[in-house]
Amino acid sequence: MAYPFRLHGRNVIVTGASGGLGRAMTLRLIRHYGCRVLGIARSREKLEAVARELGEYGHQFEYMIMDVSVRESWKALAEYVRSGGFDADVIINNAGILPEFAKFGMYSPEETERCMALNLNSVIWAAEEFIPVFERKTGTAIINISSSDALCPLAGTSLYSASKAAVKALSEAMREEYRGRIYIPAVCPGFIRTDIMRGQRYDVSPAVRFVSMPPEKAARIILGRADRRRSRIVLGFDAHFMSAAYRIAPVWSVRFFRLVFRVSGLVLFKDIF
């Protein structure tokens, strides 16, 4: 018997809902799938802008100011759900950060801790708090946004690659552990035109922007495939190319992309070499 999950009409928690992919998914969930969304982010101003953008659909959106990198915040959110504040069926772990391109030894302990807290620990904490809630219901899901870096690690993104690879592995293991009870896909997108690059000291290359996917298109693909219960969702030419290259030649593919960064001459990658 197929697991009875569909996105239509669900109550969805979206982290990082104030901008980029999170905002695009929030808008599509509400307008196209008729969902109610609880948007999570740190900026009240940006969340209020999303509410205004929804216009006549605004009654289907509420928000909570929360830092997903803080463990206690997840306990408070879960208690809000358990107490009836928002009858969640789905959580989309979208919030994350891409540290600046650099060699591993150049990251400070604070940068390392923040990257792991935002990208990985928040996903672990979400699972710890919401699996007990979702197991008591039908048609629930924990949708984790990983990255193409989880399919092929890139020199200069050691922290990011490690955190997103862990999210992918965690999702795929939990998918089998909770098969038939909770839908848990791993989403591995390539470059998306969002502000995740805000951590870079240098301007992003026009070439990178050229291969990047608009967040609205990414949201449409991700949610469409999730609605069809795909176990792994890979999107973007760059993500598919990285995945295929790494499967064929796991050592040489990583060296190839390092060479591409090096010969590009882009200042964005100058601290890798």
Catalytic residues: 160
Amino acid at 105: G
CA 118 – CA 112 distance, rounded (Å): 10
Please choose, from the candidates 32, 257, 50, the residue with its C-alpha nearest in 3D space to the C-alpha of residue 151: 257
Do 36 and 257 form a contact (C-beta atoms < 8 A)? no
| Secondary structure tally for the chain: helices H, strands E | 10, 8
CA 77 – CA 98 distance, rounded (Å): 25
Burial pattern 92-101, b for ≥16 Cβ within 10 A else e, equals bbbbbbbbbb
Q: State the CB neighbour count (10 A cutoff) for residue 178.
A: 18
Any idea which residue has 């862990």 for tokens? 166
- C-alpha distances (whole Å) from 119 to each of 15, 33, 52 are 11, 27, 28
Q: How many CA atoms lie within 13 A of 33 on its CB side?
A: 27
